[in-house]
Amino acid sequence: MTEPLNTGVLLFLPYRAMEARVFAGLAAAGFADFTPAQARVFQRIAPGGSRLTDLAEQAGITKQSAGFLVDQLERSGYVERVPDPADGRARLVRIAERGARSVEASRGIVAEVEAEWTAHLGPRRMEELRGILSDLREITDPWR
């Protein structure tokens, strides 16, 4: 860590840069009430909705923390909670209308940053980067 940059730090630097850009862009697009912690949970919501407990597990936080963040997201109109048809005890957290619009906005920003990276690296190496990272995911993504 204190010298010839290990692979972990090397991964972190561009990640942080991407995150910062997305948040700046979202804020500029009218989604300023969106914190990094909220986003980490929000990102994990499945297309049809997810249970709170699942979200917590996937985001690597306790269900208490997840509940706290989902409360905020709900208050801001990014998500909504609906009963889970498959399990009477549970409720599904789903992306609400405003949430869907923010996803659309972030998609554009991500594409923009990826385009910059592609310009710097060249299309071939950018593609390689994504391919290698996808492979790495098999042994580093605990949940799928």
What residues line the site for DNA (CB under 7 A)? 35-38, 40, 51-54, 60-65, 67-70, 72, 84, 87-92
**Within positions 40 to 69, which residues make up the interface with a second copy, using CB under 8 A?**
42-43, 45, 47, 60
Residue 26 in contact with residue 109, Cβ under 8 Å? yes
Residues 6+ apart with CB under 8 A from 50: 44, 58, 92, 93
- Contact stretch for a second copy (CB under 8 A) within 35-43, 61-69, 70-78, 86-94: 35-43
Q: How many residues bind a second copy (CB under 8 A)?
A: 51
> What residue has token string 């940053």?
113
> What residue has token string 């042994």?
139
Q: Of the two residues 76 and 118, which places its CB atom closer to DNA in the complex?
A: 76
Q: Of the two residues 89 and 120, which places its CB atom closer to a second copy in the complex?
A: 120
Binding site for a second copy (CB under 8 A): 1-3, 5-19, 22, 39, 42-43, 45, 47, 60, 95, 103, 106-107, 110, 113-114, 116-117, 120-121, 125, 128-130, 132-142
